[in-house]
Each structure stands twice: as structure tokens, then as C-alpha cells.
Structure 1
Amino acid sequence: MNALEVRDVAFAYGPRQALQAVDFSVAPGSFAALLGPNGAGKSTLIALLTRLYDLQQGDIRVLGSSLRQQPRQALAQLGVVFQQSTLDLDLSVEQNLRYHAALHGLARRAAQARIDEELARQQLAERRHEKLRALNGGHRRRVEIARALLHRPRLLLLDEASAGLDPASRLALNRHVRALCRADGLTVLWTTHLLDEVEQDDDLLILNRGRLVAQGPARRLGAGDADLAATFARLTAEVSP
């Protein structure tokens, strides 16, 4: 069973087609990079995956559960880090996590155990009582990842999670998420428009103007960073609206 299956998904904002016949799957325990220029449709796809938007065409399955027919079961398997932060800057790290745990219906004792575990894993235990305002962008993203993992999802979605971070923080966050993927068998879908966030072992999906124009192992689509950059430039230049 695939961790994620997207089948013939299309979406339009009125007359503007944002996604067209998008079709792919992601295997359990893999790190899949969804690469595309700004405006390619990545955030629209994330909004459909999380049911912020209703499906207009096609279906999405998370660990076998259809978002159309079994939305509760499907969403229970998801953890999400959106491009725009939804943390409360005036609450502490721990208060933000407690609030999210309560929304998921976690009992107080179980929630505290999970919060302690995730803060330790994200290397934030000593900052649990600090307000979010006091943290830099990279640490705030780690809080969002901790929050996304509190209910132990099997699929983690990150929509341009490195946006606004400096290069060192972007690299550290990317490596951190990959380490989580390896350690826990977590499936990750990482969306980005930056080639340096893609590694040769990734399952790569290239989205442009609402269409999936390539998919497969990154090493096959480009033998090295320069070749992958050339492939990306060619594919995103040649697809017509």
C-alpha cells in the first residue's frame, strides 16, 4: 500500500486551471521532493491534500483511505507544516503544542509525554517555556514539525517549509527532516522551488503550470546537480499553458 496516491487530480480557480490531471504515488518510508517554480500549483495541491480545498476532480488516498470517502481516517494519518506559520507568537513553545494536542483529543498525560518526546527530538526541550517570538525562523519551523508529529502521523507534508530561512537554516531543516524520515520510517512529501533542497536519492516529482512533467528517482532525472538543474530548466521552459 502506498503512503500517498494522487489520481487524476485537477483543480481550477474559476477559469484558471491550477492543476491538470496530476497523478503520482509515494511509497511508505520515502522522502519525496515535489519541485516546481513559484506558481506551479504546489500549494494548491497541498491545500487539496489537507482538505482546505474540496476535490473537484480525481481522488487522493492516504494509506489507503480516500479523502472523498474516508476523510477522517485519511487526515488522521497526516502531519502538515504549511508555508505560512500558524503558531501563536505570544504563547510559549509548550503552550502551542498543548493547544494542538487538545485539538487532536489527546489526553493530558499522553499529550505531555508526546510533547516531551518531540521537544527532545527537535532539540528544543530547554526552550519549552520561551515565547515563539524569541525563537529564530529555523527553531520556529522545528516547533511546527514537533506539532505536526504529536499525533504520530505516518505521512508528513511540508509546503515550502524553508521559505524565509537563511541558507544555513534551510540546509539544517532539510537534513533534520530527512533524519526523522530515516529514524521513524516516516513518509515525507517536501515541496520546494529550490534545487539545492533535492538529493540524488529522492523520489522526485516536477510540477510546472499545473502539470506533472516528470517523476522518478532524482539520479535518473539528472546524473548530478548540474544535470538536474538543466533538466529542470528544460522541463519548466517547454511546457505550454
Structure 2
Amino acid sequence: MNALEVVDLSFAYGAREALRQVSFSLAPGRFAALLGPNGAGKSTLIALLTRLYDVQRGDIRVGGCSLSRTPRPALRQLGVVFQQSTLDLDLSVEQNLRYHAALHGLSRRQSALRVDAELARQALTERRRERVRELNGGHRRRVEIARALLHEPRLLLLDEASVGLDPASRLALNQHIRNLCREQGISVLWTTHLLDEVQPSDDLLILHQGRLVASGQADALSLAHGGDLGSVFTRLTTSGAAR
């Protein structure tokens, strides 16, 4: 079963259509990069995937569960790291995680086990009692990732997660997420506007003017369109060529 299926998804703000019949799927354990210029529809898609907006046409299924018809089991399989941090800066790392675990209905014992496991996985055990405001940007992102993984989701959604990080922290975060895919079989949808965050073996989705103009493995798309990823991206998002 696919971790994520988006089927004929369309969305409009009044008369302006932001997404037009977007369809794609994400297999278990895969890292997918979502690329698109400003105004392509990425933010609208993220808002629909996280249920900030209701689906107007089409369907979104997480682990086979429809976000529209069965939202609770669908959302239980989804972990999210938003572009803007939503951590409480005045709480400690551990307090932020325990609060989130409680929201997901984990028992005190489950919460303690999961918090310990994720702190260790994110190399944050020694920082568990530090207030979040005392952490640098890279470590704050790791706290958000730990929080998103507490309830053991099948799909992890990261929306421009590297924004504001220095180059070394951005590279380390990107590699860290890929390791999670390999080690835990988690599927990842990583939205970005930076081509250097995409690797040849990644699944790649390119949005332009509300349409999915390309989808497939990054190196295969480069080969099919006869150029490196940068030139392919520029060509597709300038001309709006179909897949």
C-alpha cells in the first residue's frame, strides 16, 4: 500500500484555480522532492495534505485512508514539520515532546519510551532539559522532527524545512531525513525550491501553474528531457510543458 496517494486533486480560490487535476503516489520508504517556483501551488498542496484546507475535488489518501472521509486514521499516519516553527520556545525539548505525545493520546509510559527513543535518534538526549530558545536552528529542526515521529507515522511531510539554516546544517538535515527513510521505512515528502537538495535516485515532483508537469525518478527525468536537473526544471517551469 502506498504511503500517499493524491488523486485528481483540484482546488480553487474563488475563480482562480490553484491546483488542476494533480495525481501522484509515494511508495513506502521513498524520499520524494516537491519542486516548483513561487505560485506553482506547493503551499496549497501542503495545506490540503495537512487538512488546513478541505479537499474540493479529488482525494488524498494516507496509508489508504481518505483525508476527506476518514480523517482521523489518515492523520494518525502523518507527521509534519512546517516551514515556520511551532515549538514553544519557553518549554524544554522534553516538555515540547511530551505535550505533543499527550495530544496524540499516548500513555505516560508510551510517551516516555517514544520520547527517549526519538531524542536518541536525533542525538538530542543531552539537550532534553534545555529550553528550545537556547538551541540553534539545526537543533530546533531536529526537535520538530522528533516531535513529528513520536506517533510513528508512515509519512513524514517537511515543508521547506531547511529554510534559514546555514549550508552545513541544511546538508546535515537533508542527509538525516534520508537516513530515516532507509532505517525506518518512512516515506518522506520534502518540499523545496533548492535543486541541490535533490539526489538522482529521489522521486521528483515538479509543479507549475497548478499542474504537475513532471513526476518520476530524478535521474530518469533528466535523461528523458535531455539535460541536467537545473535545465529541465527551468524548461518545464518556463514553458509549462506537459509530462
TM range (shorter): over 0.9
Match of 2:229 in 1: 228
Deviation at 1:38, TM superposition (A): 2.4
Give matches, 1:82-161, under 5 Å.
82-161=82-161
One-letter code aligned to 2:40: A
Cα deviations by residue, 1:116-167 (Å, 9 ceiling, x for unpaired): 1000000010001111111111110100000000000011011111111111
Match of 2:208 in 1: 208
- TM-score, normalised by the number of residues in structure 2: 0.95
Match of 1:237 in 2: 238
Residue 231 of structure 2 aligns to a residue whose secondary structure is helix
Match of 1:166 in 2: 166
Residue 228 of structure 2 aligns to a residue whose secondary structure is helix
Match of 1:12 in 2: 12
Match of 1:45 in 2: 45
One-letter code aligned to 2:228: D
Larger CA deviation: 50-59 vs 231-240: 231-240
* Structure 1 unmatched runs, 5+: none
Deviation at 1:16, TM superposition (A): 2.2
Deviation at 1:80, TM superposition (A): 0.5
Deviation at 1:75, TM superposition (A): 0.6
- d(CA) in 2 for partners of 1:215, 1:149: 27
Alignment of 1:184 with 2:155, yes or no, is: no
Cα deviations by residue, 1:195-230 (Å, 9 ceiling, x for unpaired): 00000000111111211000011001125xx71100
Match of 1:81 in 2: 81
One-letter code aligned to 1:236: T
Larger CA deviation: 39-48 vs 85-94: 39-48
Larger CA deviation: 203-212 vs 12-21: 12-21
Deviation at 1:50, TM superposition (A): 1.3
- d(CA) in 1 for partners of 2:137, 2:209: 29
- TM-score, normalised by the number of residues in structure 1: 0.96
Report the aligned-residue RMSD: 1.1
- Aligned residue pairs, count: 238
* Structure 2 unmatched runs, 5+: none
- d(CA) in 2 for partners of 1:128, 1:47: 31
Q: Could you list the runs of 4 or more consecutive aligned residues of structure 1 that deviate by over 3 angstroms after TM superposition? A: none
- Percent identity at matched positions? 74
- d(CA) in 2 for partners of 1:207, 1:171: 23
Cα deviations by residue, 1:7-29 (Å, 9 ceiling, x for unpaired): 11111122222111111111111
